[in-house]
């Protein structure tokens, strides 16, 4: 297995791993603004999707689709964002991001500067995100069951 000592995704000692096998791991990211934020990380230090074999690509994307489906079922987002950059950390990983029209950056990417919001909009999102955060445990349970099947 290829590991790079200064790569944070090769070290992954502090990740909150929901499920893993010998190829990939699915981790929970705690972020009050984005309940259910999940990453699917290829275990080997691989830079691009086309560095993987077709079978490996299928295995990786199957996990991504399972995360997306579980988020849709349990968190009822308005949209799912899938992102794979690796510009800062060139180690293959997918962000699976449930989005809501009321969230702090919608319709921008979660990494974009936050658009202007009224105090009422901010309060409404805080209330909605708190409710969603309470559903994250059920989302995780369902996702783990699906991934382990």
DSSP states of 19-85 as a string?
A: EE-SSEEEEE---TTSTT-EEEEESS---SGGGS-HHHHHHHHHHHHHHHHHHHHHH--SEEEEE--
Cβ distance to Zn ion smaller for residue 42 or 139? 42
Stretch that binds Zn ion, among 3-11, 74-82, 100-108, 121-129 (CB under 5 A): 3-11
Query: How many residues touch Zn ion (CB under 5 A)?
Result: 6
Instruction: Decide: is 61 part of the binding site for Zn ion (CB under 5 A).
Output: no
- Contacts (CB under 5 A) with Zn ion, residues 63-102: 91
User: Residue with structure tokens 């990211």?
Assistant: 29
* Residue from 45, 74, 93, 140 binding Zn ion (CB under 5 A): 45
Report helix, strand or coil for 76: coil
Q: How far is the CB of 9 from Zn ion (least distance, A)?
A: 4
Q: Where does this chain bind Zn ion (CB under 5 A)? A: 4, 7, 9-10, 45, 91
């Amino acid at each position: 297995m290829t590991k790079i000592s200064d790569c944070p995704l090769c070290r992954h000692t502090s990740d909150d791993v929901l499920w893993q096998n010998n190829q990939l791991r699915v981790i929970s990211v705690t972020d009050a603004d984005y309940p259910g934020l999940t990453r699917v990380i290829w275990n080997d230090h691989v830079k691009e999707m086309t560095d993987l074999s077709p079978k490996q690509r299928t295995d990786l994307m199957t996990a991504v689709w399972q995360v997306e489906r579980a988020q849709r079922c349990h968190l009822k987002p308005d949209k799912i964002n899938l992102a794979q950059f690796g510009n800062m950390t060139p180690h293959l990983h997918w962000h699976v991001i449930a989005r809501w029209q009321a969230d702090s950056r919608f319709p921008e990417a979660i990494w974009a500067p936050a658009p202007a919001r009224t105090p009422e909009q901010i309060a409404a999102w805080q209330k909605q995100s708190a409710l969603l955060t309470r559903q994250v445990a059920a989302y995780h349970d369902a996702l783990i069951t699906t991934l382990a099947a």
